[in-house]
Every structure is written in C-alpha cells, then in structure tokens.
C-alpha cells in the first residue's frame, strides 16, 4: 500500500487506455464523483455533495472541484447516478449550471429525486431511465446496470466496458439477503461478470472496518411492533426522508396498531409522494392523513413520520425538541423513535435534540438503546463476498475516509488481489488502466468547493481560517484617524470588539498603551498608515496575550483625513 | 416524573432538614458538584470541570457556578472527592482560589492527582486521606466511604449520615466482577447500609440507557495479546492518562512479547509515576525506558504508551498523525491502538487523527473494530443491582444528560421506588430532605462559568453568541469619519471584512450604496453618529442579504473629528 507522495500532472493517456479520475469520495464520506475517460470521451459516475464539519464553519455544502473537466464538458457522454442520496446526486445542479444538456442516466426513483431537486434550480434535464439488467452504449462506454440493495430503493451498480477493459463500480450497496422489496443485490450478475473478467473494481468502503454482516432491514419490524404496542400516547418516528423501506415498516406497524400516520417535514412529504407514485411505498387506504387531521386525533391513534433524525435544529424534530413546532407539542409519555443512523459529526446535535425531547417527558428510543436502525453499507463480511465473486485484476476502494479505504484494501489483499494491483488513492489522483494494469500516474489539483448562501466558491481556505479564529477568539478592532500631512492623531483610538468578553470596560487599560505607542511612533517620524497599523496591532496583541493568554484577531485601521 | 417548571428561590431549610444543591453534573456529563447542607454547615462532594462543545467556541473549561455558596465558604466543612477524574476534581483549584484552606478528603490516588494539579496553581491544600471502610465525622456530616470500581483506581462512594437521614452518593462506578486489582465495588456494604435505611440515593446515570452489564476490564488483555502477537513494527497505544489498569494490561502484553515501553505525553508520565509510587501500577524491572532509548530500539521491540486518545491535535498522538512529533514518525506497518472511549463530541477529532495515521500506512485499531475498551460506568443491569441493594426511600439520578437521568429514573421506578420519590432535577434545583421525603423546593441561578486563557467568567453568553456568528459568517466592518459640527463625511467609507469571502474586491459594489445612503441621511439632516451607524448597518445588511443570502456581523463605526 502507498503513502502520500508528491505527484505531478499525469502524462497523456496512452491510446487504448482508460483513465479514472476521482473528484470526490476518497478521504471523506460524501461528494462522490468519478470521471472515466476513454477515446477522448468522458463518463461521470455520481456527482454528490459533502456536508461540512465543525472546521468548515458557516458552509452549507461542499462540492467536487469541477476544474479538471470544466473545459471538457462537451466531451461528457452522460452522468450515471447510482442512487438518489445527496452525497451522490447533490452536486448535479451545480454541474448542470455549467452545461444543462449533459444527459442524466439512472433508475426511476433516482431520476425522480434529482428531477425534483433540479426543478428548484429551474433546470429541466435530459434524462435516460435505466433498470437492472439493462445495457446502454454511451459513446465508447458500454454500460450494464446491476441491482444493488441499499438504504434507498432502486440503487444500481454499473459495469463499464471499454477498449481498455471492464470496470465495475458498485455504488453504495449492502447484501441484505431478505430485503423488504425482494430486490437482492445481484451477486449472480457479479459472479458472471467476474467470470468474463473485471479489470478494475471500484467498491464502497464505508463499512470496511466493521466486521461481519448487516442485520436484515426487516428485523426492525418486530422492534417497531413492540415499541408501538407499549406506547400509550403519540408516536413520533424520525428517519432519513429517502429511506422508503424504513418508512414502510413504520406504516405497517401503525396500521397493525390502529394508528394513522402524518408525514412531517418538506422532504419527507415530497419523497414519500414520489415513492407512492412509483409504487415503491404501499400505503393502506386511509392510513395517511394530513398534519391538521392528525393533530385532532387522540394521542394513542397517531404516528408522526418526521425528518430531523440528524439533529438539525430547524428540522421538524429539532423544532419539537425546542417546543417551537407549529403543530406538535411534546407531552410527557410521548414516544419518539430515531430510526436512523448517527452520521459522524452530528452526535452532539442529535443528543441535544434527544435531551430536549426527554426534558419534556418524552420517551426517546434511538439506535444505541434498541435495534431501530441497520446500516445501508456492506461490512467486511459482505465485501469479501463481493471481492470473491468479482475476482478483479485491479482494485480501487472508494467511498470512505482513509481508514475505510485502507481497511478495504486489506480485505482485497486477503482475497488474493496482489498488493501492487491495489490502488489506494486520494481525490484528484489519476489512475490509468493500460494493458490490464491500473496505476496512479499523476495528480490534478483538487479543492473543496464551498457553497455558502447563494455563492459558490467565494469562501475559500482564507475565509475559513479567519472564521475559525474569529469563532474561537473574537476580534478587537482599533480605529485611529490621523492627519494626512502630519500623521498626527486627530481621532480615536476607538476600540470595538466582538466575541472577546462580555465586559465592555475590558479595553479601558489598553487605550493609553495605544496612545503612547502612537506618540512614540510619531516621535520617530512614522506617519505611514501601514506602519501605524502595525504599531497598533503589536501593542494590542502584546497586551491581550500578557493579560489574557488569548489571541483574538486584531484589526487595526488607520484612516487619513 | 417532572417537566421543567419555573421555580423561585427556595424557602429556608426547616430545622433538622438536609438540603441538596447540585451545582453541576445534571443535564451534561461533567462539572460534577453537589453541595449538602445541614445545621448551617456545608459539605461539598466533587468539584469538576466540563469540557466545552462546538457551541462553546474558544472556551478551555467550564466550571460550576460557585455563586450560591460564595459568601458561605466559611461554612464548608470539606470537599469530598470521589475519584481523580477531571470532571470530578478539575474545578477544585478555582474553588480553592476563593478559600485555600477548605480541606480536601479523598483516597490516596485521588489526592495525589489533585495535589499535582494544585501545585501548578501554586496552592498547597489541607487534605485528609481516607480509604474504603473508613468513617469520618465532618461537622454534622457523618461520612462513611465504600470501595467502588471505575476506570481509575481508588474510587470511593460516600454515605453521609445527618440528623435528617442517610444519603448515599455513589460517585462514578461500575461493578466489574473480576477487577484487575481485585478491588470490587462494595455491594455487600451497600446491602448493609440499605438495611440500615438510605433516605436518599444519588447514583451515576452515565450508562443508564445502555442495557446489560459491562465486559470485564481483564477481557481486554487477550485482545491486546493478540494484537501484540501480530504486530511486526512499532506499537503505539493511546489511552486516558489516568486509566492505570488499562496501562497495566499494555505493560503486561509488552512484557509477554519482549517489547519495552516508553510513556509519551506529560500527563501520562506524571500519572504513571504517581501510580507506580502508590504501588497501583506494577512495572517489571527494566520494562519502562525513556523516549530517547525507545527511539533507538528496533521497531518490533518497542511500545509507546501515549496520551491523545480523544483526538486532541496538540497531544502526542495528534502530533504523530500530522507528522509533527519530535521523536516518533509513523511508518507503514506500525500498529496503533486507541484503547479508549470516544467521548461524545470528540468523534470528528478522533477520526481525523485515525485517518491521519492510516494515511501514513499505520494499522489503526479502535473500539469500533476490536474490543480494546470497556466503559467505566455501570449500565442498566448493574444499576438495578445497586438499586435493589440500597432500596432507597428517595432517589435522585445524577451525572448525566437529561436522557440518562430520565432512563435512570425509569429503572428506579421499575425496582419499586414510588414515582413521587424520584427527584429528577437540573443544576441549581434545590432538593430538601425533610421528614424522610425529598422534594424540589426551589431553584438558584446556575450559569456555565467559562475559563478562557487566564480569565474566569469574563466570557459569557454574549461573547459566545458573537463568536458563533463570527465563526459561521465572519464580519464586515465599515468606518466613516464625519465632521463633528456638520456631520459631513470627511473620511471613508472604509470597509474591512474577515471570514466573509476570499476575494478582496467583493465589497466594491457596496461602497457607492453606503455613500448614497449617507448622502441622503445628510440631506434629511441626520448627523448623529449613532443614527448614521444604523444607516450604514441597514445598507450593508440589505446588500449582503440580497447578494449572498448571508448574515455576517456588521460593525459600523462613525467617528467624529
């Protein structure tokens, strides 16, 4: 296995070769995007967003860096979307802004979700619906689609046949052997294509560190049944708004226990409408009622199926926890079930919501205390099944932080993939498949592209570094007005600070120090505003460090009049 | 069970009553501190710190609010410290700053740790060493100490006998039935005092949501043994610096596999020195070597026992992950074992360290992938044992977030404590035990007291709110100089922004808008700096909202010359 090395730009792709350029999804869970190049044409698989962590404050979304393909969008045959999760489709509107007529290829549910999202961006895409078993020639890329089981319906893996060989990209998957909809991951198909010969396998690494196998989704049913049986007041279930099978089990439990269900939260209402139309969600006649109707039912006759399972403070559940929801006020004895994962980084937010709900007397059930969630990603045991079915000549773990990619590489090694055929790489690394061997041949620049409000890319590492300092320490701004000709102070020093201390008199001691420093600068003949600003910065910086052992941002302004 | 209510200050404590005032530890895990009052005298149990979360940026520590007892420090008989963890002793230096001669009562190891900490604060405390089985009369408080098993040696529970009745405070505990040092939680003692009659039980709620029983600490031994057997290069183990038994097992595994051990990190070196002196840590002759000596040993002959298990970037392990450690450079094939808990809120930091180490080719083992950690807190099964042993007349769950307290209250109810004898309360609530009944009688103000650098308490909710805004959105400062007499603009507008955008020309479009707004204010005869500042704020705020959909802090300054 490789360790980080300085790589330059890649050489030209040899004729008959296949280039693989991951623009996201390696080193972090999210913004999955892989670009394939053959015969001068490009095929993109997925185009997702990454959600920011605490060290990316104020950022709404993180996009893949489209720069390496920005001047080649005319070469793109299509964007294949493996499934409808945000970390696989969320970047599409931003890419289509650059060129709206790139065709989208995906399953019915996947396309329905991305089309709904694109409507909000006022983009009407060209799209091609495909299903498992189907093959489509997209320029030089011969694509074949395989059913995979995941925490959203209608997910696909894609095999890509090119002159350079065959690539299999699993997308996100697991191998639930008793899936709720009977749609198994097509292990038989993977065996078949493995026999034909797979030159490069790209496979989901999210759970590669986790030993064993996932519990079947349907085992959550009896747990819900039990919780519903014992609930005496209202039941509120929170889950991802795209987890149709989880919602199905909630509907079934509600039906069995004589409760009506109301969908709560914009994305839940929208997605379940889509799922119902596509017959992916079976809703017994009369089961689902409006929020208003639900509010008028007796507590023991109602279930609210809500968004907010990741602790988002403005979500439906977040508002209930802070007693700020328009329709639903938590009462002692209500049962709340977080039938969802706990995405790393969201723990504090989720526990804040749980504590808020518990404070009002609700009984909150989450995955740490009852089996109300199973993962959507294959753990090590299932990844071994896949590797043994495909027996790839080269292997490239994708979709994971470095620890996950490394664990997955180790599994591949254990199944017999030679060490030098395991390509462990980072976003922006260029992998060329030539003469049956996949190898890192270079690196292209790859940045996080931040979306903040309406703007894309204007917030970069400089602004984020400043935000981190400001957020931890606040700032002290000092303004001085000097005479343009003489450099003599005619106004100020005036101190304004935010985020430093609650006491507004805290800066009284530093004012005379600043005046003194400016006086002695003047005595030395210093009248340049830039130099005076340095004087102010040094004086205030030393004072605050000596007095407080802190390092707030110091913003000196010397104005000439 | 109760829901939040507005409570006023408590009435005077009736003669013969016992007052319990929790100043920390309820609603959050940390800053544990309980004040007991009887016959006009006070006894404090624990005085810990809470570590800040993401919404308390830049804060180093959070202390209990000492205000309710600040003018009664002369009444304090002693501070009983149940064990040596920071969340139980970390606040002591700040309390002793107010009155250095309050006696500290605790076990040998607990006192050794707090004394080392107090030396850094240049305080030499009065201390009284106690051990399990011992009884001490502290004013009107008859204290008896019981052995409890926890993730630090020498932890104690304390029973407090007063005229109003007997209180049992467990401190933090679990009931490992095969503890490494043979020192069992004194369940027999709890049965005995239960028979005598316990009027109020305060018990550790941290794991009340977790079903079942803890795995024995000694079961980690074989797991370490296995990892050590398979390691071919260096081994680095990270753990809490006070977890003597965990370190003991690492030493034993190293000894068995012919490796020497070096302690890494200031607190690890200091605490293991203390533990060795007190014969709590058995170190085979010649096993422990200096860091320099270890660096010169072959990789397969060395173990580094390090701090940094919570992802702290400046800790020994954090520096190794960023290749910034003076002595230790991670190489492919090194084995790193995080034999530690993952404290909620630290997940992102810990995974960042794991990914950093994995990126350099290390094999990182953590509790999600191997049984290298067990909790120090009793889960539900063990809490039931305690409740059934003590059979308290009144029960008050402590040490936990609201969800933990609520789960613990439910367990108490299941063992037969009547609902109206379960006191579920928040920090600052006043609980009076009178005539055998414990009841919330009032509430005293209770704030988080923030330590930031050298200052205690100067950063409050205002500064934190400003930091949160600054950290998410940055600020835009606009300075204008006006003539004092006429209000005419003689300098500026000058814009300085930080944390807003990387592009320094971003503000060019707003300058003419500000000038225009000031002109029209002047035309309306507005010359007051305050009003002009409002004009600037409104103009910039509207522009930034329309253009960016963002809400940075806007800091207008209008200076008169």
Note the pLDDT of residue A370.
Answer: 92
Chain-chain contact of A460 with B561 (C-beta, under 8 angstroms): no
Nearest neighbour of B466 by CB, restricted to A4, A464, A498: A498
Interface A-B, measured as beta-carbon pairs within 8 A, has a size of: 226
A414-437 core/surface letters (b: 16 or more CB in 10 A; e: else): ebebeeebbbbbbbbbbbbbbeee
**Nearest chain B alpha carbon to A462:** B502
Q: Report the distance separating Cα B368 and Cα B360, nearest Å.
A: 20
Chain-chain contact of B3 with A361 (C-beta, under 8 angstroms): yes
Which of the residue ranges A272-286, A410-424, A512-526, B423-437 would you say has the lowest mean pLDDT? Answer: A512-526
Chain-chain contact of B458 with A355 (C-beta, under 8 angstroms): no
Note the pLDDT of residue B215.
Answer: 95
Nearest neighbour of B502 by CB, restricted to A463, A477, A548: A463
Best mutation target among A345, A355, A410, A555 (most B Cβ atoms within 10 Å) is A355
**Nearest chain B alpha carbon to A453:** B549
pLDDT in tens, A526-545: 878 899 999 999 999 999 99
Nearest neighbour of A471 by CB, restricted to B363, B369, B468: B468
pLDDT in tens, A116-165: 999 999 999 999 999 999 999 999 999 999 999 999 999 999 999 999 99
Chain-chain contact of A474 with B467 (C-beta, under 8 angstroms): yes
Q: How far B308 CA sits from the closest chain A CA (Å)?
A: 18
Q: Decide: A62 and A50 in contact? Cβ < 8 Å.
A: yes
Q: Which CATH number fits domain B18-212+376-448: 3.40.50.880, 3.40.50.620, 2.60.120.330, 3.60.15.10?
A: 3.60.15.10
Nearest neighbour of A498 by CB, restricted to B356, B460, B470: B470
Q: Which CATH number fits domain B461-560: 3.40.50.620, 1.20.210.10, 3.40.50.720, 3.10.20.580?
A: 3.10.20.580
Note the pLDDT of residue A490.
Answer: 86
User: The whole model's pTM is what?
Assistant: 0.92
Q: How far B323 CA sits from the closest chain A CA (Å)?
A: 12
Q: How far apart are the first and last CA of chain B?
A: 63
Chain-chain contact of B462 with A502 (C-beta, under 8 angstroms): yes
Note the pLDDT of residue B487.
Answer: 77
pLDDT in tens, A128-140: 999 999 999 999 9
- Residues of B in Cβ contact (< 8 Å) with A4: 359-360
Dig out the tokens for B101 from the structure: 């001669």
- Work out the angle at residue A457's Cα, subtended by the Cα atoms of residues A453 and A459, and round it to the nearest 5 degrees: 70
What is the secondary structure of A354-373 as a DSSP string? Answer: HHHHHHTT-EEE-TTTS---
Dig out the tokens for A72 from the structure: 């080649």
Nearest neighbour of A501 by CB, restricted to B332, B463, B498: B463
Instruction: Report ipTM for this prediction.
Output: 0.90
**Nearest chain B alpha carbon to A342:** B347
A539-559 core/surface letters (b: 16 or more CB in 10 A; e: else): bbbebbeeebebebbbbbbbb
pLDDT bucket at A1, cuts 50 / 70 / 90: very low
- Neighbouring CB atoms inside 10 A of A233's CB total 17
Best mutation target among B30, B58, B207 (most A Cβ atoms within 10 Å) is B58
Chain-chain contact of A502 with B460 (C-beta, under 8 angstroms): yes
**A306 labelled ligand-binding:** no
Q: How far A473 CA sits from the closest chain B CA (Å)?
A: 6
Q: Report the distance separating Cα A93 and Cα A63, nearest Å.
A: 11
- Residues of B in Cβ contact (< 8 Å) with A407: 369
**Nearest chain A alpha carbon to B460:** A502
Chain-chain contact of B458 with A53 (C-beta, under 8 angstroms): no
Q: How far B258 CA sits from the closest chain A CA (Å)?
A: 27
Chain-chain contact of A345 with B344 (C-beta, under 8 angstroms): no
Chain-chain contact of B491 with A58 (C-beta, under 8 angstroms): no
Note the pLDDT of residue A527.
Answer: 79
- Residues of B in Cβ contact (< 8 Å) with A473: 58, 467
Domain residue ranges of chain A, discontinuous segments joined by +: 18-212+376-445, 217-365, 461-560
Q: Decide: B113 and B84 in contact? Cβ < 8 Å.
A: yes
Closest by CA to B544, choosing from B478, B483, B467, B489, is B478
Q: Report the distance separating Cα A115 and Cα A119, nearest Å.
A: 6
Tokens 């085979």 map to which residue? B284
Chain-chain contact of A3 with B561 (C-beta, under 8 angstroms): no
**Nearest chain B alpha carbon to A357:** B403
Chain-chain contact of B479 with A479 (C-beta, under 8 angstroms): yes
Dig out the tokens for A505 from the structure: 């008199």
Name the CATH superfamily, with its identifier, for domain B217-365: Metallo-hydrolase/oxidoreductase (3.40.50.10710)
**Nearest chain A alpha carbon to B450:** A501
Note the pLDDT of residue A486.
Answer: 80
Note the pLDDT of residue B1.
Answer: 46
Note the pLDDT of residue A509.
Answer: 93
Q: Which CATH number fits domain A18-212+376-445: 3.60.15.10, 3.20.19.10, 3.40.50.1820, 3.90.25.10?
A: 3.60.15.10
Q: Report the distance separating Cα B256 and Cα B557, nearest Å.
A: 69
**A376 labelled ligand-binding:** yes
Chain-chain contact of B470 with A468 (C-beta, under 8 angstroms): no
Note the pLDDT of residue A505.
Answer: 86
Name beta bridge partners: B347: none
pLDDT in tens, A387-409: 999 999 999 999 999 999 999 99
Q: Which residues of A are catalytic?
A: 204, 377
Q: How far A53 CA sits from the closest chain B CA (Å)?
A: 8
Note the pLDDT of residue A487.
Answer: 77
Q: How far A322 CA sits from the closest chain B CA (Å)?
A: 12
In this prediction, the residues of chain B whose per-residue pLDDT falls under 50 are 1, 3
Best mutation target among A57, A365, A537 (most B Cβ atoms within 10 Å) is A57
**B322 labelled ligand-binding:** no
A18-212+376-445 and A217-365, same CATH topology:
no
φ, ψ (nearest 5 deg) of residue B493: -65, 140
Residues 6 or more apart whose Cβ sits within 8 Å of residue B388: B415
Nearest neighbour of A467 by CB, restricted to B1, B4, B474: B474
Note the pLDDT of residue B229.
Answer: 97
Instruction: For residues A454-479, give the mean pLDDT.
Output: 94
Dig out the tokens for A289 from the structure: 């009622």
Q: 3-state DSSP call for residue B193? A: helix
Can you point out the beta strands (E) in B405-458?
A: 429-434, 437-443, 449-452, 455-456
Q: How far B490 CA sits from the closest chain A CA (Å)?
A: 6
Note the pLDDT of residue B5.
Answer: 65
Q: Which residues of B are catalytic?
A: 204, 377
Nearest neighbour of A472 by CB, restricted to B57, B454, B458: B57
């Amino acid at each position: 296995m490789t360790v980080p090395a300085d790589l330059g730009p890649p050489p030209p792709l040899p004729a008959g070769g296949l280039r693989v350029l991951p623009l996201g999804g390696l080193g972090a869970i999210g913004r999955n995007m892989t670009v394939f190049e053959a015969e001068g044409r490009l095929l993109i698989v997925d185009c997702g967003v990454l959600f920011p962590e605490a060290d990316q404050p104020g950022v709404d979304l993180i996009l893949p860096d489209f720069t390496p393909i920005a001047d080649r969008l005319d070469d793109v045959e299509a964007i294949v979307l493996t499934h409808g999760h945000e970390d696989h489709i969320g970047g599409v509107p931003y890419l289509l802004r650059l060129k709206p007529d790139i065709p989208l290829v995906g399953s019915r549910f996947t396309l329905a979700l991305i089309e709904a999202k694109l409507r909000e961006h006022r983009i009407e895409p060209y799209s091609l619906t495909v299903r498992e078993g189907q093959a489509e020639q997209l320029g030089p890329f011969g694509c074949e689609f395989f059913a995979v089981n995941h925490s959203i319906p209608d997910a696909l893996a894609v095999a890509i046949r090119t002159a350079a060989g065959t690539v299999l990209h699993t997308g996100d998957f697991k191998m639930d052997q008793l899936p709720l909809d009977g749609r198994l991951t097509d292990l038989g198909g993977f065996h078949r294509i493995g026999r034909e010969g797979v030159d490069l396998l790209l496979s989901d690494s999210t759970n590669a560190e986790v030993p064993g196998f996932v519990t079947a989704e349907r085992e959550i049913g009896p747990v819900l049944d039990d919780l519903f049986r014992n609930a005496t007041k209202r039941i509120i279930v929170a889950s991802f708004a795209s987890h149709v099978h989880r919602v199905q089990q909630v509907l079934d439990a509600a039906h069995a226990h004589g409760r009506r269900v109301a969908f709560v939260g914009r994305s839940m209402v929208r997605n379940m409408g889509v799922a119902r139309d596509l017959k992916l969600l079976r809703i017994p006649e009369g089961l689902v009622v409006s929020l208003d109707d639900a509010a008028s039912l007796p507590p023991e006759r109602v279930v609210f199926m809500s968004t907010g399972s990741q602790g988002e403070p403005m979500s439906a559940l977040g508002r209930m926890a802070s007693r700020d929801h328009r329709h639903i006020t938590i009462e002692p004895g209500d049962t709340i079930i977080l039938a969802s994962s706990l995405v790393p980084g969201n723990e504090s937010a989720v526990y804040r919501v749980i504590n808020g709900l518990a404070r009002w007397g609700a009984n909150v059930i989450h995955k740490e205390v009852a089996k109300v969630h199973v993962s959507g990603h294959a753990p090590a045991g299932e990844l071994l099944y896949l590797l043994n079915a495909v027996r790839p000549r080269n292997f490239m773990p994708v979709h994971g932080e470095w620890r996950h990619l490394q664990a997955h590489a180790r599994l591949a090694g254990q199944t017999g993939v030679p060490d030098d055929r395991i390509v462990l790489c980072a976003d922006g690394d260029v992998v060329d498949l030539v003469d049956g061997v996949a190898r890192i041949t270079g690196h292209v620049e790859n940045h996080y592209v931040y979306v903040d409000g309406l703007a894309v890319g204007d917030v970069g590492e400089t602004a984020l570094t400043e935000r981190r300092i400001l957020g931890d320490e606040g700032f002290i701004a000092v303004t001085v007005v000097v005479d343009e000709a003489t450099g003599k102070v005619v106004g100020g020093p005036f101190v304004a600070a935010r985020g430093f201390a609650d006491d507004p008199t805290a800066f009284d001691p530093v004012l005379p120090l600043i005046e003194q420093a400016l006086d002695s600068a003047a005595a030395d003949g210093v009248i340049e505003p830039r130099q005076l600003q340095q004087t102010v910065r040094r004086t205030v910086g030393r004072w605050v460090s000596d007095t407080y052992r802190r390092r707030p941002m110091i913003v000196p302004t010397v104005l000439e009049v």
